[in-house]
């Protein structure tokens, strides 16, 4: 079936998908935690509560939070999301909350077994001509009181215009943002002190925003200085958008930590959309065929906050708006061992600048509201969709097996594969049902299909609509998979004998 025909039917099958998972969830068994979520624009209080009620019990490794530093405030533009990416100072006063709330959130998450990764905006400061920040700091471009003066910025005072020129990319201004001279010892000291402060509050790692727009050696210098102060062990992943046709290469940043592999989301999305002649059978050799970063270096996603809005380069990316295909793409990402997966958690928007759900004065509305919450309404909360949340458990349960085993495809858009003796997944992107007997390495027994729900809290039954899949003594099971649907089973969702 063509991509266009398939997209035409997704609305028809959407109602068949199970409702998003309830917050009544069993505690995740002790296992390697291997996936994290981006709670985009959530308040610190909401992040802390989500760690306790959902992320910890479901086995998420970590949570990426929005930039914590003071930022510009733009009421005339409707308080856009990107105001968070225009720093005014390194005070922890943002629209997600203040320093005390941030510190409390980090501790709540750590106690729930969830690490906090801060989005570190250190390439630049604000790009507007002047104003007052979210913490009350008055500033003008290139002059940020008590922090930076004009001489702390690169001499190129114009926007990047030539992505084939590494100096232009790293020394000029990303969309007019005041570009810090990260070769300066003063600038380095201020940045490292800021990051050290976040670590002192319990932050476990950093997303280095716009790393591509800083010279690799300067990123390395900053991180080395930070490690000298706080010790090793921080999880570092860098935003290096490398389509393979520009001067800046992701390989230059490998020595500093992981890189975000933007090409993965594009290529997997295009495959599930049926674009460029791609079909699911092609996913058998994705790492080798697509020249992706080594698995151990890559952070992968189906979409992120930029790609949802058409920013950060080209390409087609599935989002929550194409729910059935988006679910299947996330099932694949979380089942396949390549990279470290980042799950997206969004809010609804109608234009690419729109900020999070907020009051008229720009105050972000809470997700958690007493005994209820606003998930699946203005806040999309994809991470709580049954299939996505449960597949995080699949990822954890299969982490001990790094290989793909027992690969099968129909040569088109039906695939299945195992993760050794730990798990097995079947994905049917075609409209017609798939009925087949599959060979696995799983132990004999009865398993919950986690696409529809995992083990019940009693651990003796499956949740909700989750059917039971029986694997025989030969490791085989026979199942019917509906069109645009999937089955996933793993040892962590095996019913007692």
**Active-site residue among 119, 190, 209, 242?**
209
Show the tokens assigned to 466: 């989750």
- What span, in angstroms and rounded, lies between the C-alpha atoms of 387 and 118? 26
Among 81, 73, 163, 181, CA closest to 122: 181
Query: How many beta carbons lie within 10 A of that of residue 182, not counting itself?
Result: 23
- Taken in order 377, 379, 380, 383, is the CA torsion positive or negative? negative
Instruction: Say what the alpha-carbon torsion angle 200, 206, 210, 214 is, to the nearest 10 degrees.
Output: 70
Q: Is 209 a catalytic residue?
A: yes
The Cα-based distances of 416 to 22, 295, 341, 377 in angstroms read: 28, 21, 19, 33
The H or E element spanning position 394 is helix 386-397
DSSP assignment string, 202-254: T--EEEETTGGGS-HHHHHHHHHHHHHHH-S--EEEE-----SSSS--GGGGG
Alpha helices (H) in 292-385, listed in sequence order: 323-335
Q: Is 239 a catalytic residue?
A: yes
- What span, in angstroms and rounded, lies between the C-alpha atoms of 483 and 222? 50
- What span, in angstroms and rounded, lies between the C-alpha atoms of 467 and 465? 6
Instruction: Say what the alpha-carbon torsion angle 357, 358, 364, 365 is, to the nearest 10 degrees.
Output: -70
Instruction: Say what the alpha-carbon torsion angle 448, 452, 455, 457 is, to the nearest 10 degrees.
Output: -160
Show the tokens assigned to 139: 């500033």
- What span, in angstroms and rounded, lies between the C-alpha atoms of 389 and 18? 12
**Active-site residue among 45, 173, 218, 239?**
239
Could you tell me how far CA 275 lies from the centroid of its own chain? 23
Catalytic sites, residue numbers: 209, 239
């Amino acid at each position: 079936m063509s991509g266009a025909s398939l997209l035409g039917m997704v609305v028809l099958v959407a109602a068949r998908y199970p409702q998003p998972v309830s917050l009544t969830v069993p505690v995740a068994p002790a296992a390697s935690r291997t996936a994290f979520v981006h709670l985009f624009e959530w308040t610190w209080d909401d992040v802390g509560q989500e760690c306790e009620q959902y992320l910890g019990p479901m086995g998420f490794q970590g949570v990426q939070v929005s930039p914590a530093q003071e930022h510009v405030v733009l009421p005339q533009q409707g308080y856009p999301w990107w105001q968070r990416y225009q720093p005014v100072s390194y005070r922890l006063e943002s629209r997600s909350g203040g320093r005390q709330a941030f510190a409390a959130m980090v501790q709540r998450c750590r106690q729930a077994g969830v690490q906090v990764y801060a989005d570190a905006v250190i390439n630049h400061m604000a790009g507007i001509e002047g104003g007052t920040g979210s913490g009350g700091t008055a500033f003008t471009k290139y002059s940020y009181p008590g922090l930076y003066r004009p001489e702390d910025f690169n001499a190129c005072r114009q926007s990047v215009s030539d992505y084939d020129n590494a100096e232009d990319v790293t020394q000029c201004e990303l969309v007019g943002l005041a570009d810090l001279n990260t070769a300066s010892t003063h600038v380095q000291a201020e940045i490292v002190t800021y990051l050290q402060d976040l670590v002192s509050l319990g932050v476990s790692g950093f997303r280095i925003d716009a790393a591509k727009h800083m010279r690799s050696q300067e990123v390395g210098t900053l991180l080395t200085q930070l490690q000298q102060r706080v010790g090793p062990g921080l999880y570092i992943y860098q935003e290096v958008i490398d389509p393979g046709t520009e001067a800046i290469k992701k390989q230059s940043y490998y020595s500093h930590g992981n890189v975000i592999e933007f090409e993965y989301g594009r290529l997997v999305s295009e495959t599930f959309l049926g674009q460029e002649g791609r079909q699911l059978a092609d996913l058998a050799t994705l790492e080798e065929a697509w020249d992706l970063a080594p698995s151990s270096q890559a952070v992968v996603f189906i979409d992120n906050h930029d790609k949802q809005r058409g920013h950060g380069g080209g390409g087609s990316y599935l989002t929550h708006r194409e729910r059935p295909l988006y679910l299947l793409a996330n099932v694949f990402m979380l089942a396949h061992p390549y990279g470290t997966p980042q799950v997206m958690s969004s809010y609804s928007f109608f234009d690419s600048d729109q900020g999070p759900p907020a009051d008229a004065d720009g105050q972000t509305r809470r997700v958690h509201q007493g005994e209820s919450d606003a998930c699946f309404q203005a806040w999309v909360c994809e991470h709580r969709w049954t299939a996505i949340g449960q597949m995080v458990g699949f990822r954890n349960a299969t982490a001990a097996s790094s290989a793909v085993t027992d690969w099968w495809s129909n040569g088109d858009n039906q695939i299945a594969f195992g993760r050794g003796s730990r798990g097995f997944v079947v994905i049917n992107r075609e409209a017609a049902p798939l009925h087949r007997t599959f060979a696995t390495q799983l132990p004999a027994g009865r398993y919950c299909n986690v696409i529809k729900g995992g083990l019940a809290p009693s651990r003796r039954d499956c949740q909700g609509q989750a059917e039971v899949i029986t694997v025989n003594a030969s490791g085989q099971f026979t199942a019917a998979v509906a069109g645009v649907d999937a089955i996933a089973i793993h040892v962590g969702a095996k019913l007692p004998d």
